């Protein structure tokens, strides 16, 4: 534990945190806390971490588990539980104890949040339905998520109210059902378009052959889950399964980390290395270098962009002559976005241009993914600085992509001349590629 504590982020790392603040501002994080972590002495520090996230305009939804408390109550009453985690059949006696355990945990969480000055509320914005019979076995009072009222949750978040969601969820008739908290958190993250789904556990992360995986691509996780020889603790497997489902539902990052470590949340989110396991979606698998056969699709994108003066007008011939500079974003073999990457003389700087996404796909993060891909590609090619010229999207480049105002002197003489002759009076923005982490959390 002491080595993990040494890895935790120090207060002197505040400048490092501030670098990432624009990237996560107004994003939603869904944090699922095991019951054992709520009862751990470090939970008060986790709440402090959450307060820091809220102060940075990051919106947090909190889900809690009840496993440890349920086992404790069963021991006190000398009752044999039909299931602990909410994945198997839940009989009436177990359901009664689960409701009691949930009330105890919820009150403890509320007290800690209140002591930290955080406004919060338990909500019934999630509706459940019975799991029913699986392989002939009636799961009785075990439930699964049927619907998430995202509008209510977003309204709460917009008023700086932290929603607290319990694993006892009512169905259409108002009957309480026991829902597995890992599944519950996944459904919330998916419905809210969360940037991160974070599981706080009594484990150091997802271990393979005794080694914690710090960065795990989605496909690697799925192969691991399909490997029958892989030995995973059932509680970690549950979170890994739900993490994979979240990524399938367009949640870009899922984290599994040890909630007993001081500063665990801030370290995992803002430190380059992190603390536990981060599973990331294969965002860049949909981005590739353009081919000559893509010229017509690129011309169509450029034509639409030029109508609003968002892009410089290009002829098909011009695109065919420069197609090697283009990168395209594909969905189901259709090109829905593009960007160009062009080196300046000497190769130390490159220009990012023609960032355009079909209007139907606006608001889905495609533009940001194209820009992040271009940053990484430019760094791979040896560039130190990335330049963007824009007339309409300065806010996007600065707030979402962390570019800063540049100067005409950042451009080579020929490019300055061409810009002046175009009459577009574009704003020069720049991004130092030395800031780019190869394992951004």
The 3-state DSSP class for residue 229 equals coil
pLDDT range class, residue 235, cuts 50, 70, 90: confident
For residue 439, pLDDT over 70 is answered with no
In the predicted structure, residue 8 carries a pLDDT above the cut 60 = no
Share of the chain above pLDDT 90, in %: 70
Q: How confident is the model at residue 286 (pLDDT cuts 50, 70, 90)?
A: confident
Residue 382 has pLDDT above 90, yes or no: yes
Tell me what percent of the residues of the chain surpass a pLDDT of 70.
92
Contact 58, 30 (CB under 8 A): no
Question: What whole-number distance in Å separates Cα of residue 157 and Cα of residue 324?
Answer: 44
pLDDT at 313: 84
- Rounded to the nearest 5 degrees, what angle is found at the Cα of 390, between the Cα atoms of 388 and 391? 170
Statement: residue 81 has pLDDT above 90: yes
pLDDT of residue 4: 46
Judged by DSSP in three states, 331 sits in: strand
- Bridge-based pairing of strands 162-165 and 59-64 is parallel
Q: Are 370 and 340 in contact (CB under 8 A)?
A: no
> Would strands 253-258 and 196-201 be described as parallel, antiparallel, or unpaired?
parallel
**Over residues 47-71, mean pLDDT:** 96
Q: Give mean pLDDT, residues 53-74.
A: 96
State the average pLDDT over residues 261-285: 82
Residues 6+ apart with CB under 8 A from 236: 201, 203, 206, 207, 256
One-character DSSP codes across 205-220: S-EETTEE-SEEEHHH
Please state, in angstroms and rounded to a whole number, the distance separating the CA atoms of residues 284 and 370.
Answer: 8
Domain 2-281 has CATH 3.40.1160.10: yes
d(CA 62, CA 19): 25
pLDDT recorded at residue 2: 39
pLDDT digit string, tens, across residues 108-129: 999 999 999 999 999 999 999 9
Domain 285-435 fold is: Aminopeptidase (3.40.630)
Strands 28-33 vs 196-201: parallel, antiparallel or unpaired = parallel
What is the per-residue pLDDT for 3?
A: 44
Predicted local confidence at residue 331, as pLDDT = 73
Residue 286: other Cβ atoms inside 10 A: 18
Checking if the pLDDT of 82 tops 70, the result is yes
The whole-model pTM stands at 0.69
Average pLDDT, the chain: 90
Is the per-residue pLDDT at 19 higher than 70? no
pLDDT at 11 over 60: no
Q: Where are the domains of the chain?
A: 2-281, 285-435
């Amino acid at each position: 534990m002491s080595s993990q504590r040494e890895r935790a982020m120090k207060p002197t790392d505040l400048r490092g945190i501030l670098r990432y603040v624009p990237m996560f501002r107004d994003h939603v994080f869904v944090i699922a806390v095991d019951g054992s972590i709520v009862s751990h002495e470090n939970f008060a520090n986790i709440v402090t971490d959450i307060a820091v996230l809220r102060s940075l305009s990051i919106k947090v939804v909190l889900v809690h588990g009840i496993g440890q408390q349920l086992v404790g109550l069963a021991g006190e009453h000398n009752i044999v539980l039909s299931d602990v985690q909410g994945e198997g059949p839940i009989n009436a006696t177990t359901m009664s104890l689960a409701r009691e355990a949930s009330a105890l945990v919820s009150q403890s969480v509320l007290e800690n949040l209140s002591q930290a000055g955080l406004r919060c509320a338990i909500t019934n914005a999630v509706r459940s339905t019975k799991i029913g019979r699986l392989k002939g076995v009636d799961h009785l009072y075990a439930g699964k998520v049927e619907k998430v009222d995202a509008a209510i949750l977003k309204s709460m978040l917009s008023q700086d109210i932290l929603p607290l969601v319990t694993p006892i969820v009512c169905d259409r008739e108002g009957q309480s059902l026991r829902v597995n908290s890992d599944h519950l958190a996944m459904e919330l993250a998916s419905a809210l378009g969360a940037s991160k789904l974070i599981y706080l556990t009594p484990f150091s992360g997802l271990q393979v052959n005794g080694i914690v995986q710090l960065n795990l691509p989605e496909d690697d996780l799925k192969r691991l889950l399909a490997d029958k020889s892989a030995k995973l603790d059932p509680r970690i497997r549950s979170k890994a399964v739900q993490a994979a489902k979240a990524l399938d539902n367009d949640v870009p990052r899922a984290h599994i980390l040890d909630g007993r470590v001081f500063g665990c949340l801030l370290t995992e989110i803002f430190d380059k290395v992190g603390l536990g396991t981060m599973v990331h979606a294969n965002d860049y698998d949909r981005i590739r270098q353009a081919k000559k056969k893509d010229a017509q699709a690129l011309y169509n994108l450029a034509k639409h962009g030029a109508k609003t003066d968002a892009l410089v007008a290009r002829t098909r011939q011009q695109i065919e002559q420069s197609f090697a500079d283009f990168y395209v974003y594909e969905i189901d073999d259709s090109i829905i976005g593009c960007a160009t990457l062009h080196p300046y003389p000497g190769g130390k700087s490159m220009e990012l241009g023609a960032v355009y996404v079909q209007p139907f796909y606006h608001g889905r993060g495609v533009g940001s993914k194209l820009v992040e891909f271009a940053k990484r590609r430019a760094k791979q090619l040896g560039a130190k600085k990335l330049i963007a010229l824009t007339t309409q999207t300065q806010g996007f480049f600065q707030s979402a992509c962390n570019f800063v105002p540049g100067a005409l002197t950042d451009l080579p003489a020929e490019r300055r001349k061409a810009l002046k002759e175009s009459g577009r009076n574009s704003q020069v923005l720049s991004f130092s590629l030395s800031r780019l982490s190869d394992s951004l959390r």
